[in-house]
Amino acid sequence: MSYIDKTLTFNSDKIYFYNSDLEIEQQVMMDWEDSLMSASAVYVCQNEGDILEIGFGMGISAGYIQSHSISSHTIIENHPDIIPKAQEWAANKPNVTIVTGSWYDVKDNLSTYDGLFYDTYGDNDMQYFSSSLSSLVKPGGLATWWNSMTSETNYYNIPNVTYTQIDVNPPQNSYFNNTTYYLPQCQL
């Protein structure tokens, strides 16, 4: 069963599902990421304009993106348990568009953006992220993404990436347990 088919549980501090194969709670997102979501929003919103966010999660980054002077904010979400939460969150925000489905399946129907933030979980199309950037981000636009690597490792092989180190103190979890986060930054 893939992530998209899992039933998610929403607590105030995390989203998770029960992994019956491993018999553990598998966290998808947690509120300790707040400072990382803020830093990601600051980076991708520097040019203001139109912002694409791939993955809504807990909506932490979406809130930070909305705090900037931007023209539009397009959010793509594919998990059926998260989509209604994203739609409810966006209901009174006229510059927000929620697109449902896989980002890769809808990418050819999208515009180009001044900033892009990519933070998904269990994405079966992540191997196409790097090759899709130039069709999603305007020349001079900025992109960042969730980086689960514990160093300046360019997992996606994207050229001209720099990193900003951010000190974090995550509780024990199933996806990131380092005390330094390397925020990737790329201008296209």
* Contact indicator for 70, 95 with CB cutoff of 8 Å: yes
Q: DSSP code of 111?
A: -
Q: What is the pLDDT of residue 101?
A: 96
Q: How far, in Å, CA of 118 to CA of 65, rounded?
A: 13
* Contact indicator for 2, 124 with CB cutoff of 8 Å: yes
Rounded average pLDDT per 10-residue block, the chain, 188 residues: 92 95 93 98 98 98 98 98 98 98 97 98 94 97 96 91 97 96 97
Q: What is the pLDDT of residue 108?
A: 97
Distances (CA, A) of 100 to 30, 38, 80, 87, 180: 22, 24, 9, 10, 33
Contacts 24+ apart (CB under 8 A), 67-71: 67/41, 68/41, 68/42, 69/45, 70/45, 70/95, 70/115, 71/95
Q: What is the pLDDT of residue 2?
A: 87
Two tokens at 118? 């990519």
HSE, side-chain direction, 13 A CA sphere, residue 128? 13
Q: How far, in Å, CA of 65 to CA of 61, rounded?
A: 6
Which run of H or E residues covers position 88?
A: helix 83-90
